[in-house]
Structure 1
Amino acid sequence: MPADPLPDVPHDKEAWRRAGLARRAALDPTELLQRRRGWLRHGLDAVAAAGAGVVSLYLSRGEEPGTLDLAAELEKRGVDVLAPMLTDGRGHGVHEITWGHYHHDDLRDGLWGIPEPSGPALPASALASADLVICSALWVDRDGFRVGVGGGWYDRALPHRRPGAPVWAMVDSCEIVDAVPHDPWDIGVDAALTPAGLVRLGPATRPE
């Protein structure tokens, strides 16, 4: 694989998004499979170590860090998985934050082909039941700031989490960088779940 593309304009979020999407698009299927196996193995270990009985987890598509196997295995182990619902079930997108209980045999294609639960929709406040939130990201930095795909969904969802509930971003190891652009209202994450394991983030983790 060629060297990872980096943004030409380091303070431009859109440049970071383009670079992140280009990097993931360059991965071959063998590399993707290896990474997904790592996310599954270390994700199960990390969730178990956190003692989480309810996990909020996005459902992946395409070259995103794979969560479908992780969600299915968590369900088998008795963990309640909450997943985003982006449609009303009739093909129309919803503007409010909505969640659903994940069941591996009861999913539908939502907006842009993103899998989502088919069951009843839960309000944004349902996130408060989660012991752990695992969100999507293209990049994270050492202080815990993330660059997502740009829809702002998690920026609006995360304020509803329970105080003290940790937030992890799923990224590749090389998608953890020293700094990404962020705005005053951005909510940081506590750790990055990578194919090699969980990496703690935040100012307290930086060497003095």
Structure 2
Amino acid sequence: MKDKAHMRERYRRERREAFIPAVYTNVLSTPEVMQATIVASYVSYGHEPSTVELNRALIKSGKTLILPRVNKDHIDWIFWDGDESKLIEKKNILEPVGEVISVLPAIDVVIVPALRIDRDGYRLGQGGGYYDRALPTMSGWKIALVHSGEVTSEVLPRESHDIAVDAAATPDLIVRFNKN
């Protein structure tokens, strides 16, 4: 969609211009994460909200962490123990090495990247569609990480396959969305 492409370009520019490094460990205090055993996250890059401290804290707290690795048009999931030598750079993104999880376990929490989140919990991602394809197959509470000011009251464009997240986290707050 041309409209989405223009929005992504604008939101990336705004994010770049307003970028302030921040920590998202406030996510750890949510009941869903505190009770979780298995958490799916990702390795942030560029001006995305940083997952470095969050991923370390999840592992330190005893959670099993899985990370995505792009495989053609979908995401494979890999267990990751925090060893940075088990990450390789692919198109500016760090991805885990290791065996693909052939059958996904019951995932308690899914931490999702986003450029913007609207008031209904729908996200605008980077445009690859990887999470659009992955989220419907993943159980668990879904929370997107965004910078302050990236939860918007405007309704973002959405398509029939889009899945709303349950919550969004900024460095300072957790926003929960009502799902009817």
TM over 0.5: yes
Write out the 4+ residue segments of structure 1 that deviate beyond 4 Å after TM superposition: 47-50
Are 1:75 and 2:54 matched, yes or no? no
Aligned to 1:8: none
- Which residue among 76, 94, 112 is the counterpart of 2:72? 94
- Which residue among 126, 145, 163 is the counterpart of 1:149? 126
| CA deviation profile, 1:99-152 (whole Å, cap 9, x unmatched) | 0011221432243221122221124x51x5210111000001011111000000
| CA deviation profile, 1:151-182 (whole Å, cap 9, x unmatched) | 000011111112xx211110123111121111
In structure 1, C-alpha distance between the alignment counterparts of 2:4 and 2:141, rounded to whole Å: 24
AA in 1 matched with 2:9:
R
Aligned to 2:81: 103
Which protein has the bigger strand share? 2
Which piece of structure 1 moves more, 114-123 or 13-22?
114-123
Cα RMSD of the aligned pairs, angstroms, is: 2.0
Structure 2's unaligned 5+ residue stretches are none
- Which residue among 88, 91, 98 is the counterpart of 1:119? 98
C-alpha change, 1:47 and 1:26, in structure 2 (3 Å) is: farther
- Which residue among 7, 15, 21 is the counterpart of 1:24? 15
Are 1:172 and 2:157 matched, yes or no? no
Are 1:12 and 2:3 matched, yes or no? yes
In structure 2, C-alpha distance between the alignment counterparts of 1:19 and 1:47, rounded to whole Å: 34
How many residue pairs get aligned? The number is 177
Q: How far 1:203 sits from its partner (Å)?
A: 5.2
Contact 2:74 2:133 in 1 (8 A): no
Q: How far 1:202 sits from its partner (Å)?
A: 3.4
Contact 1:142 1:202 in 2 (8 A): no
Aligned to 1:136: 113
Q: How far 1:48 sits from its partner (Å)?
A: 6.4
Which protein has the bigger helix share? 1
AA in 2 matched with 1:151:
G
Q: Highest Rg: 1 or 2?
A: 1
Aligned to 1:184: 160
AA in 1 matched with 2:117:
V
Contact 2:74 2:134 in 1 (8 A): no
AA in 1 matched with 2:27:
G
Q: TM-score, normalised by structure 1?
A: 0.78
Contact 1:135 1:170 in 2 (8 A): yes
Q: How far 1:46 sits from its partner (Å)?
A: 2.2
Q: TM-score, normalised by structure 2?
A: 0.89
